[in-house]
Chain A
């Protein structure tokens, strides 16, 4: 099933709750108006309604989960803007622009395999939740790597149920298997009937794409990141080099953020 992008809107919503889940990482929860649908892999631009002295522009965040009609964003403080967003008080009026972009296509497959690096975990809980209901027979697997145990996001019991397999990696071996997700997948790249999904730092995605191509896997959907000013296709900031120009670039916020790896000039 290929998601059709929902028409985006501008929502002014109070920050309903936050929860710390790992070092520098929290869930932000919002109560949207009823019947505002979004698809896994889509994103929102988040800012505060009162202009911020710290971050003028909005910041893009994947829709992290949708439960009981509520929206959850998994936020990691990596710079000025994200650090500030983590300090906001409950009830702060936020502006959410979205849902934006094109998310993951969810074609039938025996196995759905997600590879996540760091905060690249963000879109996968929601993706797994959808796949669970749409394709109950399919196996859903998560391969999730972090720098260390402190950064590692511990899944709740409910979240773990979304996956048939969860394999955890840390660079320093302080939790799960020592080493990278890409190395950890060893000889599983060539397995048949696997739908591949990826999200994480660019070097991880590049390494994973190289492995997949080496094993003649011709389809995999990766969620990419680029600097964004608008998020809805007007500023032309968010370019990703196109493997088959013209045009020379993909516009990530409208053509992505999820792209087939074959479309990208790595």
Chain B
């Protein structure tokens, strides 16, 4: 059990601490159990689930960069039915006070609606605290445009999910747009309880010997410490625009100091992804670091959240000058 100082309130969901494991980097929740008790986390987000299972993309699926990695996993997942039958029973025994968010996606707004309906139907059985909507998915019927980068499709997907479920919804925003803020506003207008940001940034690595892209699909999503400032920036901007919209901050968090940057920028809680590949204990070390910080400074996560705005030096981040 975390100390009361660490309690993180994100709209209708209260986490025992502000540290969650991010989608796609924590499996379905039980894979980390031999490293540390999952019950010690604030929560975790499942791998993105579709109604039907998906095999994902051809190899190579990952390329390392100087301070991170690019992945093109292709949202490989076991599908909803196998998740409920094969993964959830293991989880029930271990999840304890940690909260599970189920991450969902589809290849069209209709598919988002369909998977949301499945989650709603099984909500008692799986015991999840809410849904995270991964909108970074190509619409196969619309020539593969990224649903998370197209306002109309984004709105349709979020609306569909909202209509099917009364569970709390966090929409996971893509940074691959000129401005993330209007997408956050749209999610809020469509009745989402909060937003998660950011997902990975488009990236490519080229093998100079072979003279072709390294990844099997050519390009992928960049994650890890390299993207920390991008996530902190958008967290700050979204908090400034919508002070009451709960934010789960994600991107490049490897230490408690990184986590604190997101909290100060305006997140109520954070998620750790790539860092846990390198150090499976990253989440528990971050919780311990925040605990130490809060007790030494006699403060709480709630007090820290958004504090960078209150310092008053920068009401708005400056625009670039060159």
Chain A residues with CB under 8 Å of chain B are 7-10, 47, 51, 53, 55-58, 81, 95, 97, 226-237, 239, 246-249
Q: With A229-B69, A236-B24, A237-B71 given, name 19 new contacts (CB 8 A).
A: A55-B64, A56-B65, A56-B67, A56-B69, A226-B59, A227-B59, A227-B61, A227-B63, A229-B71, A230-B276, A234-B24, A234-B47, A235-B24, A236-B76, A246-B53, A247-B55, A248-B55, A249-B55, A249-B76
> Which chain A residues border B89 with CB–CB below 8 Å?
none
Q: Given contacts A56-B224, A95-B279, A97-B280, are A233 and B31 in contact (CB under 8 A)? A: yes
17 contacts between A and B (CB under 8 A): A7-B34, A8-B35, A9-B35, A10-B35, A10-B279, A47-B278, A51-B67, A56-B64, A56-B68, A56-B224, A56-B225, A227-B62, A234-B32, A234-B277, A236-B61, A237-B71, A247-B53
The complex places the Cα of A95 from the Cα of B279 at a distance, in Å, of: 8
> Which chain B residues border A9 with CB–CB below 8 Å?
34-35
> Which chain B residues border A57 with CB–CB below 8 Å?
64, 69, 277-278
Minimum CB–CB distance for A7 against chain B, Å? 4
When C-beta atoms are compared, the residue in chain B nearest to A251 turns out to be: B76
Chain B residues with CB under 8 Å of chain A are 24-27, 31-32, 34-35, 47, 53, 55-56, 58-69, 71, 73, 76, 224-225, 254, 274, 276-281
> Which chain A residues border B47 with CB–CB below 8 Å?
234, 236
CB atoms of A234 and B73 under 8 A apart: no
Which of A226, A233, A235 is packed against the most chain B CB atoms within 10 Å? A235
> Which chain B residues border A247 with CB–CB below 8 Å?
53, 55
> Which chain A residues border B69 with CB–CB below 8 Å?
56-57, 229
Minimum CB–CB distance for A181 against chain B, Å? 25
Minimum CB–CB distance for B309 against chain A, Å? 29
CB atoms of A8 and B34 under 8 A apart: yes
When C-beta atoms are compared, the residue in chain A nearest to B57 turns out to be: A239
Minimum CB–CB distance for A79 against chain B, Å? 10
The complex places the Cα of A123 from the Cα of B64 at a distance, in Å, of: 25
